Structure formats: structure tokens, C-alpha cells
Structure 1
Amino acid sequence: MDKEPLTLLKDSVLALPDSQRKVANYIINHPTDVAFMTVDQLSSNVGTSTTTVMRLMANIGYSGYSEFQKNHQQMLREQASPQTRLEANLKSHNQSQSWTHYMERQLESIQQTATLNTEAMLNQAIEFIVSSNHIYTTSVRSGLPVAQYLVHNLNRLVGNAKFNLADSSDWVDDAVGMTKDDLLIVVSYSRYGKRIIDYARVAKEQEAKVIAITDSYSSPVVPYADLVLPCHSLGIASHNTIVPTMFMVDYLISAIALNYPNLTKDRLKDVNSILLSMNYHKE
């Protein structure tokens, strides 16, 4: 199709039946959210049926919701370069409201991320972590702080976690020894680093489990993932924001510490004992 999905909706909205117009308006007003939603989630949020959503897709020329969403996600990726984001955000920027606007946007992103990641999904991630022999985390660029924070705390709690920078080839030495009892946690945002995808692919070939913490179900790491944890990452300027992801990751760390005390208490005690013996902390 020549036109972008949102443009098709905007051009068609006035000619649509009322029920379909309601869906179209929701998509137009929540473009980033819809990129992550299933057709059931979309119809539930709008308060209509999946049949209405599918009829809307047919009316604007798509074979179904999946085709529309794929094209929509591609459009969002193409708009994701830092300079494009900055130019778009400058149009709505009001310096006097910067702090308030920032807080509102981040709170919305956290809430949306929380909605997308169900209790069952997070429990599965925790189960993968506590049952794995070795845990590896990886990322590049904007995702680095998330992966490093996660592995630092996991290693303190369970002692078998390691961070590998995807842009370095050192991860290959670990990947060749991966088994079905190991876990790779990938943090990847648009525009996705190629070496992250390579790492996820190799880990999957070694039959390791893979958790993808990423911003879209169309992310190129998703085909290699056993579990996808979607997180909003669109900031108010030019960069990927990690705030919603850090919120979710911090929950995983806290849940493991609280729900598996027999696994974590002794190790935390031993770590603290060594630090005290070194007078590591300033009194």
C-alpha cells in the first residue's frame, strides 16, 4: 500500500459506520499502544467486538488486523531515528511545562507497560531465572543500563548471572557452551542492534531459553524468544527512555528476593560479610 496505516484511517474515518469509526479514532489517538495490542485487547479497550475491528481492517484495504499491525509497526520503526523523534517532539514542546509533561508521559508509559505484561508473563520470567543454571544478559547502547542493573542484582541474589556486551565478540565464547538449562535475557530497542539479534539466534540454536525485553512484537529478536516482555520506550526528546523497563526489571528483582528467600538470603549474608571484612562501606 502507498499510504501509511494511520493515513488510511484518517482519510476513511468519516465514511465509516459509527462502530468502526470508534475503533479508528482509538487507533489514531493511541498509535504506540496499538502497535503492541492483540485484536482482543484492542476490541476490549474500545468496547466493541473483534468482528468490528476486522471489518474496519477490510474497509481500509487490509486482509486482517495482523497485516495492519505489521505495517503500522514498520511505520513506527521508520519514524524512530533520533532526529525524527526530536523534530516531532519539538512541535509539541512547551518549556514551561517540561517537567510536568515529562512526569505525565513516563507515568503513562509505566502504566501501559504494566498493562501489557501480565502477572502470568512476569511469573514465567521469574521461573526462567530461578531455574536456570547460567543467566546471561545482553544489550547495546540505550539498553545497556537496564541489562547491567538486572545482571548486577541477579548476581547478588543467585550468583550465576553474567553481562555480555553484544557488540563485543566475547559472548561467543559463552554462547557455544549454552544448553537448554541456560537463559539469555536480551534488552533491545529500536533501532535494533544487529549483534543482539545474532546473540539471540545463537542462544536459541544452542537450545537456551531467551527472554526478549523489547519495545515491539515486531522487534527482530522476537522470533528467537521464548518469552517477550514488551516495554514502551518512546521518550519526550530524541532518545529511548528506559524508565518503564527499569520499573518492570526492578519488580522482577524484588519478586525473586521476596519469593525465594531460601535461594537468596544466605548469599546476601555472605556477600555482606565479605564487604564488612574489607571495610568497603564508609561508616
Structure 2
Amino acid sequence: MNSEYRKKIQRVYSRLTRSQRKVAEFIIDNPSKITLMSADQLAKASGVGEATVIRFARILGYKGYSDMKEEFQRALIDNLTSSKKVEEGLKSVSSETVLDELLKTHTAVFQNMNVAELTKSLKNAAKIIFEANDVYVFGEGAALVPAMELSFWLNRFGKKTWLFGTTGRSFFEHVVNIRKNDVSIGFAYRKINFELRILFSETRKRGGKNILFTDQALNQLCDLADEIIVTDRGGIGSYRSMAIPVIMSDALLFEFAAINETSLENLRNLERIRREYGYE
């Protein structure tokens, strides 16, 4: 367990009732399990009533159990290495239930989405891209997957798009070319990337706009973003999938194609040129 949250529990431990201490001890002994449990499940595992779990969360300073669970999830995942995330995932399922568990967690994310709000954000993001000159897309590590998807199709739709697939010194070779009315799009999940903050800062300074894909409504990059698309991600245990970010990327592409009349024309021209040179 993250030492910060262990200390938070220790500070209030002397004030807890016997039942509340059972909840505290279960959380300390099983930090990864709480991230997957409902209040009722945690209550049963601790041998107490659900009301005790909710009161315990409030004693720690949260509005309710869901707020406590969400913060514990972030803390746990932020402090796990990649090997630990996969290890936690393997522990939580058997080989026969992997697909079923992934489908369940992703379905739960979709069911909890505010589709109307997301659609509004995606339409606004598509409008920003449509009105922009060039587009710069950034994604590091696993986040490179939706970033590649987005940049690949925007280029095919006729919007000049540059993909940032690296960090370090070479990263700045694209940043220096950003101009007024360009747009930068970043995929940032869990940990904040230093280069993405630089990209957004430079884009803003030069008169451009920024679009942020994230799973944290209070992401530190939000103050630099002109549009924010917030979605949770499914997964197994502490492992988080990029399937939903890819779907959000696809949704943005279709919103863009719907308002960009030349999208289909560019695809047809590509097909025509390939046929002319025997690449059907």
C-alpha cells in the first residue's frame, strides 16, 4: 500500500470503532483487492456492515466509499511497476476467465459513461482539429497505441498530422515547428508526462490549441487543454487496457470525417493512385 494512505489510516486508527478497525486492517493487508470491491463486498470481506465501510471512508475525509476507492485505485496503480500490474492481473483471474473479465470491466466502463457529455466534447475536439492548420499527436508507452491510430487516419483524411513517438532531444524537433492555429493532442493516463506538458505549453504560447485524452478529471494538464475527453479504462486487476482510449480515438475520427468534406475524397484519391500503379 502507498505509504501516504497507510499513514492516513494510522492517523485516525485510535478513533475507530472495533468494526471500523476491521475495515482498516483488511485494506492494509489487501490493498489491491479494495480497488475491485464494492462497499458491500468490502463489508462482507471485513465482517462488518456496509454502513461501517461508508462511515470509515468519511472518517478518512472522503465524501463516500466511491471517492475513497477511486483515490486508492490511482495511488495503487501509480506506484506499481509494469510487472506488478500484470502480476496483479494474473492473480485476479484464471486463464479460462480472462476474456470474460475483460469484457465485463469494459462493459462496466461503457455503462457508466456520460455519452451525451462525451459526444459534446468529441464534437468540439473535431471542430478544433477541422479549423487547425497542422496537428501534433503525442502518446508515450502504451498511450502510443491510440496516438498512432489517430495520426494515421487524420493524415489519410487530408489533415497534416505529426506523431510524437519519442521523448528526449529528438522530441523538440517537432515542437519547434508548431505555429499559430496548430493543435496538439495528448494521451495522458495516470502519470503526467513531462514532455506532454512542454508540448501543451509551447502550443499555447504560439497561439495553438490543445486536446487532452485522460482518465483523470483533475489531471495536471487540464489547465492547458482547450478540450478534455475523460474516460475510465477497463482492465484486469491493476492492469489497465488501451482499448477504450482507442475507441475514443475512433469516435473523434468519425466526428472529424463528418464535418470535413474532403475526408472521403482523400481516401478515394489514395485508392485511385494505388490502382494506377498496380497497388490494389
Query: TM-score, length-normalised on structure 2?
Result: 0.70
CA contact (8 A) 1:113 1:230 kept: no
CA contact (8 A) 1:186 1:211 kept: yes
Name the CA distance, whole Å, in 1 between partners of 2:95 and 2:175.
47
Q: Which amino acid aligns with 1:140?
A: E
Name the CA distance, whole Å, in 2 between partners of 1:57 and 1:183.
45
Structure 1 residue 142, shift from structure 2 partner: 0.4
Asked if 1:191 corresponds to 2:191, the answer is yes
Name the CA distance, whole Å, in 1 between partners of 2:56 and 2:126.
37
Report what 2:219 is aligned to: 219
Name the CA distance, whole Å, in 2 between partners of 1:151 and 1:99.
29
Change (3 A) 1:28 1:242: closer
Where in structure 2 are the equivalents of 1:64-143 lying within 5 Å? Answer: 72=72, 75-113=75-113, 115=115, 117-143=117-143
Name the CA distance, whole Å, in 2 between partners of 1:69 and 1:101.
19
Report what 1:164 is aligned to: 164
CA contact (8 A) 1:117 1:230 kept: no
SS in 2 for 1:95: coil
Name the CA distance, whole Å, in 1 between partners of 2:57 and 2:92.
33
Task: Render the CA deviation track for 1:236-283: whole Å, top value 9, x for unaligned.
Answer: 2665411111111111212222x22523233222222211112223xx
CA contact (8 A) 1:166 1:196 kept: no
Structure 1 residue 227, shift from structure 2 partner: 1.5
CA contact (8 A) 2:106 2:233 kept: no
Change (3 A) 1:199 1:273: same
Name the CA distance, whole Å, in 2 between partners of 1:64 and 1:277.
64
CA contact (8 A) 2:77 2:238 kept: no
Name the CA distance, whole Å, in 1 between partners of 2:115 and 2:162.
29
CA contact (8 A) 2:167 2:195 kept: yes
SS in 2 for 1:256: helix
Structure 1 residue 231, shift from structure 2 partner: 2.8
CA contact (8 A) 1:57 1:68 kept: no
Change (3 A) 1:171 1:277: farther
Q: Which amino acid aligns with 2:137?
A: T
Unpaired segments ≥5 residues, structure 2: 21-34, 40-54
Unpaired segments ≥5 residues, structure 1: 16-26, 32-55
CA contact (8 A) 1:171 1:199 kept: no
The count of residues paired between Structure 1 and Structure 2 equals 245
Where in structure 2 are the equivalents of 1:30-41 lying within 5 Å? Answer: none
Task: Render the CA deviation track for 1:140-184: whole Å, top value 9, x for unaligned.
Answer: 110112111111101111332121224153442332342341100
Name the CA distance, whole Å, in 2 between partners of 1:278 and 1:111.
47
* Seq. identity, %: 17
Name the CA distance, whole Å, in 1 between partners of 2:240 and 2:57.
34
Task: Render the CA deviation track for 1:214-234: whole Å, top value 9, x for unaligned.
Answer: 221243433322221123335
